Amino acid sequence: MSEYNQDNKNYEERYMRREERRRQERLKRQKRNRIIIVGGAAAIIIVIVLILVFSVSHCSSCSRNGSAVQTNATEAATIATEPATQKPTEPPVKEIADNGKQGELDENSSLYFWDNKAFELFRSSDESARKYASAINKYKEELGKDITVYDMVVPNHSEFGLCPREEQRLKTEQNVTSQRQNTTALYKSLSKDIKSVDIYDTLNEHKTEYLYFNTDNNWTGLGAYYAYTAFAKAAGLTPFQLASAQKNTIDGFLGSLYTASESSILKSNPDQVDYYTIPGNYDCRLFTLYDDGPLDVGMYYEGAEAGSSTYSVFCWGDNPLMMIDNVDNSDGQKIAVVKDSIGNAFAPYLAYNYDEVHIIDYRYFEGNLADYCKEHKINNVLFLSGIISANTDSQLTAMNTLFEGSGAGNYDLDAQSTEDSSTVSDELYGDSDSDTDTDSGENYGYDYSGESDSSSDSGEYSGEYGYGDTDEGYNDEDSGEYSYEGENDYSGDSYDYSGEEYSY
């Protein structure tokens, strides 16, 4: 056989073997597929049988419990047709009750009277708010990156003490502007390096409570406490519970709004002053306008009595500096509260959370705030102002003096006390029972006897705010009157305060 034929035969044999293997593989696949089909069919049959058995059993149960099944079916249908459950909304804020009476504006004092209460009306603009924020931004730059700066502006009573009808009436008839809008514009204008403490919503939630005095421009100890809880949240602190503090009350307070108006209505409805003894042990040093050295005092002026000076129970009134040392806390966290009189009821609460609280009234403090913080290792500063102060140019002028010059001021916190607290109370307040005391327990006052440009277009207010004409800037060292002479340019409607000396 030739070589060619032999190769051809070998090829045919290989071909036949390969085809046989393919045939065997096809048969195996067909067999496997038949098994799968049969097994799947069997499984389906088993499932069908089980469903039938379950259905028969369920129907039997339905016949025994027909009424219950019908009820459940009805409920299921009802649920199916109802909309999805929404997240519960917060309860609406309670509004001030409407007594049905119409308030009146006192032309002499420019105060608004309603429900036996006096209110300061607020008229300002976003521009004025941004001017204040710009000043706080500059203060932050002066203090440096190592100090945490907070800012809090306190709305006044007229924003939270009137019923909705009276609120709307004042907007349309008296051109009153929104304090919510003003503070929002202010906080938005602050540098991102500053922590704003917006207390508006907190106070609004509690506005039916006794948050503000009715005869004075300040808030109560309770209103200040709610603001303290908001600050604690912003600063990452745990506030003390008010129930753990001892409540003390002084009746018969007739404050600055009564002094300005001499209203018989206010005189017949005096305020009460509540202050709270905070849990813990504290040492307090006070620097007044009358003494060179520090005075050892209690956290509160507990000698305060009924009359116009009762608010001075908080921080002993307005003084250049008060330092509260938390004896039980030595963590090195210290805060300076730079404030006007609205801060007096607030600042003591911080002593619960901080090693030291330095309470600085920018109207009297003599020294550079940045140097003072550096010398005393203060790492937090809170600027705290009432909303009218924050929108008043003369107040910003006074605050700017905190960063003029150099040095920490003549405040030796370690010096020996020069007098005891009883002597201090006599010098500061004298006879606190007098209803005609125009100081209201505070040493700083606006004199609202200047002329006001009532043009709503210009919005300029040009009253006299003088500091006096002595080199030290004081009119009368004995009376403690401290006023600024110059023009105040309001960017809203004019304020015409022509009553007696009227203090913040």
Write the DSSP string, 148-190. EEEEEEE--GGGTSS-HHHHHHHHHHS----HHHHHHHHHHTS
Side chain identity at residue 149, one-letter code:
V
List the one residue out of 349, 344, 303 whose CA is nearest residue 326.
349
pLDDT digits (tens, 9 = 90+) for 93-102: 899 999 999 9
List the one residue out of 163, 178, 174 whose CA is nearest residue 115.
163
Which residues does 13 contact at the CB level (< 8 Å), separation at least 6? none
Task: Enter the tokens of residue 128.
Answer: 């004025």
Write the DSSP string, 427-490. HHHS-TT-TT-TTTT-S--B-TTS-B---TTT--B-------SSTTS-SBTTTTB----S-B--
Is 386 within 8 Å of 154 (Cβ atoms)?
Answer: yes
Exposure of 293 by Cβ count < 10 A (0-12 exposed, 13-18 middle, 19+ buried)? middle
Task: Enter the tokens of residue 14.
Answer: 């290989």
Give the Cα separation of 37 and 279 in Å (integer).
82
Angle at 82 between CA 80 and CA 85, to 5 degrees: 110
pLDDT in tens, the chain (504 residues): 555 455 556 656 666 777 777 777 767 777 777 777 767 777 788 878 777 766 655 555 444 444 444 444 444 444 444 444 455 556 678 999 999 999 999 999 999 999 999 999 999 999 999 999 999 999 999 999 999 999 999 999 999 999 999 999 999 999 999 999 999 999 999 999 999 999 999 999 999 999 999 999 999 999 999 999 999 999 999 999 999 999 999 999 999 999 999 999 999 999 999 999 999 999 999 999 987 789 999 999 999 999 999 999 999 999 999 999 999 999 999 999 999 999 999 999 999 999 999 999 999 999 999 999 999 999 999 999 999 999 999 999 999 999 999 999 999 999 888 766 555 666 565 544 444 333 333 333 333 333 333 333 333 333 333 333 333 333 333 333 333 333 333 333 333 333 333 334
pLDDT digits (tens, 9 = 90+) for 405-457: 999 999 999 988 876 655 566 656 554 444 433 333 333 333 333 333 333 33
